[in-house]
Structure 1
Amino acid sequence: MVQIVRRLFTKRESEVAEEEARARGDYVEYFTEEATSEFRHQVLDLINDLSDELRRNFEKEIGSILVREYGVPFLVGPNLIPEDDFRTFVLKRAKADQIMDIIHITMDLTERSYGSYKAYLTLVRTVSIRLRENKMAYDLVDGQIVRKKSQELHAAVVQPALTLLHGRKRFSEVERQYQDGLKELSEGHWGDAVTDANAAVELALRIVLGYEQGQLPSLLGEARKKGYFGQAQERSLRRAVDGFSALSEIRNSQGDAHGNTTDEATAWLCIHWAGALIVYIVQRDEDLNFSR
C-alpha cells in the first residue's frame, strides 16, 4: 500500500533552519523547477506501492501511455524492457514537467481503478506533501497539478477560485474554463492561458446576469449597473472594475487567436486577475440573491 509520509527529524530541522534564515532576512529559495534525485525516487516508490496495492503493473501502463502521447518508440532506449525503460526515464531522463505528467497519469489510473478510493486519497495527500517538501514549483489543487510562481498569490487567488467553483453546478463550465487556463500555463501556452482566463470571467458574468452573449467590458458595465460592485451611482469601485477590462484588451492583442505574443508573467497576471474577479462575482451573486 501507499506508505505514509513520515515527518523525519532531518526534515523538521531543515524547515526550522529555513524559517530562521528568512527571519534574518537571508535569501531562501521558495520553489524549484528541477526534480531532484530524491524526488524522482519518491515518485517511483509511490508508483511501486500502488502497483502492489492495486495489483497492476503501473510502470508498464504509465510508460505505454507516455510513449503514445509523446509520439516516440521508447522513453530511453530500444534495448530495455518496458519497465526498465520507464524506471530509467523517471530516475535519469525526465524533466520536471514530465515528472508531473507521470504523477497526473498515476492519479488518473488510480482514481479509475476498482476499489481504489482509499488509495487515491492517500496518493493525493502524499503527492501534495512531496511537492511541498521538495519545493517543487507545482501544486495539487482539486486533483489537478498546476504550476505556481508565487505562494502568496497561489494561496490567495488560485486555490480559493477553484475551491469556490468546485461543486457549484451552475458554474461548472466556469470551473472547466479556469482549469483549462491553468493547464495551458503548466504546458507553457501563455496566449491560450490568457484566452481561457478572459473566457472564464466572461462566462461567470453571463451566468449571473442571465445573458447568452457579451464580452468582458460590456459585461462588467452591466454588472456594475445591477449592483454587483456596489450601488450603480457609486464610483468607489469603478476604476478597479474598469481596470479589469485590460484582461480583455490583453486577450484581444496577445491571446491565442491573435498571435500568442504574450509572455509567462502576463499570462499569470491574467490568471490571477480572473481568479480574483471570479471569486468576487460568485460570492457577490450569492449575497445579492440571498438578500432579495
Structure 2
Amino acid sequence: MATTTDGTTESRAEQAGDSTSLEWLARGGLIAYGVVHLLVGWLALQIAWGTSGGTSADTSGALGTLAQQPFGTVLLWVVAVGLLALALWQTSEAVWGHPDRDRRKRVRKQITSGAKAVVYAALAVSAALVALGSGSSSSQSQEQATTGVLAWPGGRVLVVAAGLVVIGVGIAGIVKGIRKSFTEEIDTSSMSPAVRSGVLRLGQVGYVAKGVAMGVVGGLLTYATVTFDRQTAQGLDGALQTILAQPFGRYLLTAVALGFAAFGLFAILQSRYRRM
C-alpha cells in the first residue's frame, strides 16, 4: 500500500528506530567502528616510520591487532555485534526512510543509509571471521575478487565502474569534511563551545583524510583494470603504501594516519551525540 502522507512515513521511520536496545547496541557499534579506525591509523603510522613488522594497515590488520590483545576473541565478538547493530539500524532507515519532507533528499539519505548498512555488515562479518580464526588480508581478498569479476562478461567495465564509485565516495568524504555537513548527524546543542569546536575539527580532519585514502584505493583499482595489472588492485593497505612511495610520502602518510585516528575519535564521540 502506498504512503500518502509524510506523517505516515515519519511514524514508520520513528517506530523502526524506537528500539532502546538496538539504539544502545548501535551506539556501542560506533565505538567499535571508531576503535577500528584508530587501529588503522596506528598501523599506518607504523608503516610510515618503518616499524609495522609486516602488519597491513587495513581492516584485517586492525582486527588482527585487536585479536592479539588480552581477551581478543571476546573483544572481536563485541565489535561484530556492535557493527551488526549499526547495520540493522541503517537498514531500518534505508527501508522506512528519513523524516524529511523533500522527497529527493529523503531518497538520497535512504541510499546513503543502505550503503552504510552494507559497509557495517561487511565489517561485522570480517570481525566474526577473525574471531573464528579464518580472516584474510583485505588486500588479498580484493585482488581475488577483482580477478574473479574480470572473468565475467563485461567484467572489466564493472570493475572500472566500481573503482569510479570508490573514488566518488572518497571525494564525497572530502567534501563532507570541508563543508562540515556531518554536523547534521550529531546533536551539538548540549556541547560546550570547546567540545563543539574539537568535535568539528576531528570530523573535518577525519573525513578529509579517509576520503583521500578511499580516493587512492579507487584510483588503484581503476588503474589496475585499465592497465591489465591485477596485482595493483589492492585495498587500503596498498593505497597507503602508494602514498608512502610519493615524494615526502612518510609525512603524507603520517598526516593520513593522524586523520584516520581523528575519524576514529570522532566516531567514538558520535556514540554519545549521534541523532538516532
What TM-score, normalized to structure 2?
0.30
The structure richer in helix per residue is 2
Which protein has the larger Cα radius of gyration, Structure 1 or Structure 2? 1
